[in-house]
Amino acid sequence: MARYTGAVCRLCRREKVKLFLKGDRCHTDKCAIEKRAYVPGQHGPNARRVKHSEYGIQLREKQKVKRIYGLLEKQFRLTFKKAERQKGKTGENLLVLLERRLDNVVLKMGFARSLAEARQLVKHSHVELNGKKANIPSALVNINDQISIRQKSRGMDKIKVSVESSTRKGVPAWVSLNDSDLEGKLVAYPKREEIAIAIPIQEQLIVELYSR
């Protein structure tokens, strides 16, 4: 599946908000948006303030959520269509589906410091789902599914550092973590108020955009 391979800091600058795409680095003064709080491009520093249309506002919200979860347009649209077919509010269904992606759950359990790192762990077969090797980042995790680091991968320094960091910060209420055994479980589906607390999301704008 195709993926974005460019500089990620420019994505935060384009959306004018921290998307926390580089993990711990985003919490330091090395964060690019702290130094250059303007849109990327040669005219960025002198760009005039543009008043977005209703469509422009909706588009920027969609782009922001796509970038938070590391999806391209086709993947995101397919996820949206799946959310539409479910009962309940489409916008909330969309966010819950995105949160349930295996790479995102690996991140939330603290096995990685960024989504890109979590996706790499999954793609390189360092992760097991219910005791079986899992290498598909988009796989949906269900309640009571067990996620663990494979035995042969438990000595990796970056995993140890990530788990130590997550132990200090804590993990979301909808996952449980056994940091000593490097395994965790999805104990519930995330509630709307538990999703993307650090980054405000207006999912209704995305629903309106796709309803045009």
- The CATH number of the domain where 133 resides is what? 3.10.290.10
Tell me: the pLDDT tens digits for 90-118?
A: 999 999 999 999 999 999 999 998 898 99
Tell me: the pLDDT tens digits for 25-55?
A: 555 665 656 556 556 655 455 555 667 799 9
Residue 8 and residue 209: Cα distance in Å, rounded?
24
Could you tell me if residue 96 is inside a domain?
no
CA distances from 161 to 24, 68, 167 (A): 11, 22, 10
- Residue 9's pLDDT band (cuts 50, 70, 90): low
User: Is residue 113 a contact partner of residue 165, using CB atoms and an 8 Å limit?
Assistant: yes
Could you tell me if residue 196 is inside a domain?
no
Residue 146's φ and ψ, nearest 5 degrees, are -100, 125
Extract the tokens encoding 144. 């009571």
Question: Is residue 113 located within the same domain as residue 179?
Answer: yes
Tell me the average pLDDT of the chain: 84
Owning domain of residue 108 = 101-186
Could you tell me if residue 171 is inside a domain?
yes
What is the per-residue pLDDT for 21? 61
Do you know the residue count of the chain? 212
Residue 210 and residue 58: Cα distance in Å, rounded?
9
Average pLDDT over residues 164-191: 88
Tell me: the pLDDT tens digits for 142-159?
A: 999 999 999 999 989 889
Could you tell me if residue 152 is inside a domain?
yes
Q: What radius of gyration do the chain's Cα atoms show? A: 18
Edge-to-edge strand list for the sheet holding 175-178:
132-134, 127-129, 146-149, 183-186, 175-178
